[in-house]
Amino acid sequence: MTLPTRRIGPFTVSAIGLGCMNLSHAYGAPVSEDDGAALLNRALDSGVTFLDTAALYGGGNNERLLAKAVMHRRGEFTLASKCVLDMIDGKRALDGSPAAIAKTLDGALTRLGTDHIDLYYLHRLDRRVPIEDSVGAMVRAIDAGKISAIGLSEMSAATIRRAYAVHPVAAVQSEYSPVVRNPEIAVLDTCRELGIGFVAFSPVARGLLCDAVRDDAYENEHDIRRGMPRFNGDNLRHNLIAVDAYDALARRVGATPAQLALAWVLARGDHVVPIPGTRSIAHLEEDLGALALLLDASVFDAVDAIFAGGAIRGARYSAAMQAQIDTETFPDEELA
């Protein structure tokens, strides 16, 4: 199957990619290897040509899953992974030093069973290390033939420009959805100006915009949303009022909530590629159905109106996680 395509740096990829994190990380117990392999192969069979993983996800197990499940189909997709964030001795660690980047990259190549990654991101900004030094390590990886292009994740327009001055950046990845609008402050325009692709992760707002979050009784103690203020308590109960209005709008236009969110993200610009994650083949196919939607701009205006003002309460990250985020924040944004 062939899907519409968009450009991310030197790569032509399906207009909707696949974020692979959910299979191994952040939302509870990992799926079985067989179930993960089935989902990944169905994505490729359905025309998805952009797979996104990271060293952090499952402590490297997400990369290992891709190796076993789809690396025999390596020619069918653009492979993206990430460094700087990693699991060291079982604990999440942030290290943007050139030595750590080189070590994480070599480990990723081994885990993935390949000698080359197409798009390699600095997963977060390590403020202890000049961004120029971190990008320099990535340039050396390009020169060594280990990666093709450089990406940045959750970084501000100012940091993007500093990085770009060292070497062209192919992609910037940040959380972006009708609920999370931080890239609109400066990053989207900076990417457009510099010819950088923008990759939107969590485009259905960590399940909020796909009818997956109706209360804060998360099944698994390791669900990342337990530590995110907007997904808990009175904040969540308030936020679900706007979500209910959004769900009603999706029904009126003949879309599922997930499809409407993805169509909204796709409409932000031709340089924008969302990478929803899922553990369900049915949800994967639902997500890809967003590409067939033909919606008037007034529908997207209605989405914007629903989530305007104080429709969403609560910080999007815990204080510890926010400390590693470089993306701009709004003057009135709640921070943990």
> Does 218 qualify as catalytic in the annotation?
no
In the structure encoding, which two tokens stand for residue 210, read together?
A: 């796909």
Cα–Cα separations (whole angstroms), residue 16 to 137, 247, 303: 29, 21, 20
Do 196 and 169 form a contact (C-beta atoms < 8 A)?
yes
Classify residue 222 by burial, with Cβ atoms within 10 Å: 0-12, 13-18, 19+: exposed
Q: What is the DSSP secondary structure assignment for residue 32, as one 8-state letter?
A: P
Cα angle 60, 64, 69; round to 5: 150
- In the set 57, 120, 121, 317, the catalytic residue is 57
Q: What is the Cα–Cα distance from 298 to 177, expressed in whole angstroms? A: 17
CA distances from 247 to 2, 208, 212, 243 (A): 29, 10, 12, 6
CB atoms within 10 A of CB 322: 14
User: How remote is the C-alpha of 138 from its chain's centroid?
Assistant: 20
- Active site residues per annotation: 57
